[in-house]
């Protein structure tokens, strides 16, 4: 029997055998909550393809080994994960995000302009950087979940979950019968490496991170029961929709909104993810930064949005140029700034 061993990038966006170290410096007008420069340690992954002898009744048997370092396993190991939301659906920005060292990237089909086809391009870009992808659905439905899961993300996020029943439904959308109602095309979809990974059915449930968003007045009241639903791995807080639900659309920092949010946080943190509870995940806000979320016990923190990062950088770039026109020359302080402050064309 001949054995051919290939080392390649995962179709699921999981670590490969490449090991590299990259150091980046933050722009001064951006806030990085943890280390300002991040080292990428990309764990080895090997794909083994074993071909039986031609005389065998089975022409070939293929098995693909998977790395244990999924988002789910890292959370179980006690890691705090830091990520970004991708609304632009730009594969280039997805690739940059992955190379920058984010632990995960959420491709946002709820508020971003893209759908399944556009999400696929972003997942492929993230896979090239060994960065796990999470897909946020436009709505919590079996159809959207099926199409998203067939792409092979490491995580899936269901918006606007307001009860344990809705959470149970979300979990059922992710599991094949008899455990759930997910439609099956596992022999040909990307999630199973187009059918090449014959172990997919035995490990997909252990590797998939299921996230339910709590982002309404009703949802925060039932955060504990949602976190206790079997199969729910994370409860994702949604401060903006929560503020709208409470009547403070333009004021997510309102005391009543913050108190409601902290009550839900306490409810989720009171559960044990290892024995039927859920991890706590959420968005950083201008009044409630990533460090604050981590200090309060959040296990997953989304610190920014790609569109917001570009907007802030673009507005600041124009402001600096216009200021130089008013003053007649560049501000003296600008000349002493780090190279990262210079225009990209320099």
The residues annotated as belonging to the active site are 111
Report DSSP letters for 58-85, one per residue: SS-EE-----S--HHHHHHTT--EEEEE
> Token pair for residue 49?
């393809």
The shares of helix, strand and coil residues in the chain, as percent rounded to the nearest 5, are 35, 15, 45
Nearest alpha-carbon partner for 14 in 63, 64, 71: 71
Element (H, E) at 314: helix 306-327
State both tokens at 300: 């997953």
Question: Cα separations (Å) of 159 from 110, 114, 214, 219, 235?
Answer: 8, 16, 8, 11, 10
Non-local (6+) Cβ contacts of 50 within 8 A are: 1, 2, 3, 4, 60, 61, 62, 63
Place of tokens 């699921």: 12
Q: SS3 of 285, please? A: strand
């Amino acid at each position: 029997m001949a054995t051919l061993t290939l080392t390649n990038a995962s179709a699921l966006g999981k670590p490969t055998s490449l090991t590299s170290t990259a150091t980046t410096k933050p722009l001064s007008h951006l806030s990085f909550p943890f280390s300002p420069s991040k080292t990428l340690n990309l764990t080895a992954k090997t794909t083994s393809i074993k071909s039986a002898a031609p005389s065998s009744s089975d022409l070939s048997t293929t098995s693909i080994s998977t790395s244990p370092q999924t988002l789910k396993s890292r959370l179980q190991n006690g890691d705090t994960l830091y990520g970004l939301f991708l609304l632009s659906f730009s594969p280039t920005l997805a690739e940059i995000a992955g190379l920058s060292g984010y632990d995960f990237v959420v491709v946002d089909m709820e508020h971003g302009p893209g759908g399944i086809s556009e999400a696929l391009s972003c997942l492929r870009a993230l896979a090239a950087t060994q960065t796990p992808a999470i897909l946020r659905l436009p709505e919590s439905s079996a159809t959207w979940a099926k199409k998203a899961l067939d792409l092979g993300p490491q995580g899936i996020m269901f918006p606007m979950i307001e009860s344990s029943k809705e959470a149970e439904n979300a979990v059922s959308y992710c599991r094949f019968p008899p455990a759930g109602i997910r439609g099956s095309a596992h022999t040909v979809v990307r999630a199973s490496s187009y059918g090449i990974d014959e172990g997919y059915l035995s490990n997909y449930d252990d590797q998939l991170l299921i996230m339910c968003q709590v982002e309404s007045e009703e949802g925060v009241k039932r955060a504990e029961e949602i976190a206790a639903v079997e199969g729910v791995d994370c409860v994702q807080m949604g401060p903006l929709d929560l503020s709208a639900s409470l009547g403070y659309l333009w004021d997510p920092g309102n005391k009543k909104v913050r108190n409601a949010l902290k009550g839900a946080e306490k409810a989720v943190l009171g559960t044990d993810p290892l024995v039927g509870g859920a991890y706590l995940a959420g968005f950083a806000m201008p009044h409630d930064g990533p460090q604050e979320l981590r200090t309060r016990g959040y296990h997953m923190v989304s610190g920014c949005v790609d569109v917001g990062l570009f907007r802030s950088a673009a507005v600041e770039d124009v402001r600096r140029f216009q200021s130089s026109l008013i003053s007649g020359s560049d501000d003296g302080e600008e000349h002493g700034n780090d190279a990262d402050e210079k225009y990209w064309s320099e």
